[in-house]
Amino acid sequence: MLNGTKIAFIGSGVMGEAMIKGLLTQGLTSPECIRASDPWLERLEYIHKTYGVEVTPDNAEAVRGAEIVVLSIKPQSLPKVGNDLHSKIHPDALVLSIIAGARIRTLQHKLFHDRIVRAMPNTPAQIGKGMTVWTATEHVTEHQLRQTERILSAMGEQLQVDEEGYLDMATGLSGSGPGFVLLIIEAMIDAGVHMGFSRRDAEKMVLQTIEGTVALMRASGRHSAELKNQVTSPGGTTAAGLYELEKASIRAIINDAIFAAYRRSQELGELSEKRDLS
């Protein structure tokens, strides 16, 4: 699917590196098929030494001859990169953007290009355990859709959606989700310390509890409510704790947090689009 395909990475930061590492580690491509750009020469030197890929500080040079162009830059870098790459990408090439908040219409305008995939990964993608939600324009070919699946799968799980609006929803649920989960983990660890465990022991217990619960749900294929009921004895310890959580409206709080992130993603996308298209 990707054998021999020339791939350019515009931006070699944390997420760009995660994608390069995943593609090479899983044998989906080889170093000679990848060219990466970045404004920081020290970063380029590290990427070259670590992965053996070709590097350049010149964005236009990076995309020369590329069949797939991955945009893995910060949103504030888009105006400059857009100027660098305007009309420089081959018309038949696939552009895969993981730029937060940059809508397809903005990318089409900046790059003068139509074959675009916009994706929203999350931070666990750095270790190949991420969740990426993506959508494509009608100009992307079936072959390029399959290539996108392979590339994004190198960072973990991937899900294609039909409409771009779902990416704002994904930002609230899976994109911002690690932050919400980490707050819960932090609170549980703090509770353990408050009870008398060392922080190291509390962290070990909480992390294994979270990881084990996720693994159990995946392996069993059962609904979370069913598994929750299984561990909740009438009048028992779990029932007492769940009562306090429900009394504090934990479901509504989590729902409100996810919807707040979703609405903020919509707002940032609108602001970015107005700025970049003005």
Which residues, 6+ apart, have CB-to-CB distance to 273 below 8 Å? Answer: 103, 105, 106
Which residues, 6+ apart, have CB-to-CB distance to 71 below 8 Å? Answer: 10, 11, 81, 95, 96, 97, 98, 99, 102, 107
Upper half-sphere CA count for residue 245 (Cβ side, 13 Å): 12
Flag whether 59 is marked binding: yes
117 within 8 A of 146, measured Cβ to Cβ: no
Distance CA 176, CA 272 (A): 19
Flag whether 27 is marked binding: no
Kindly list the strands in the beta sheet with 156-160, ordered across the sheet, starting from the edge strand earlier in the chain: 54-56, 34-37, 7-10, 68-71, 94-97, 116-120, 130-136, 156-160
Residue 215 tokens, joined:
């693994």
Residue with tokens 């949103």: 75
Flag whether 10 is marked binding: yes
165 within 8 A of 115, measured Cβ to Cβ: no
Flag whether 34 is marked binding: no
Residue ranges for the known binding site for NADP(+) are 10-15
Residue ranges for the known binding site for NADPH are 59
Residue ranges for the known binding site are 10-15, 59
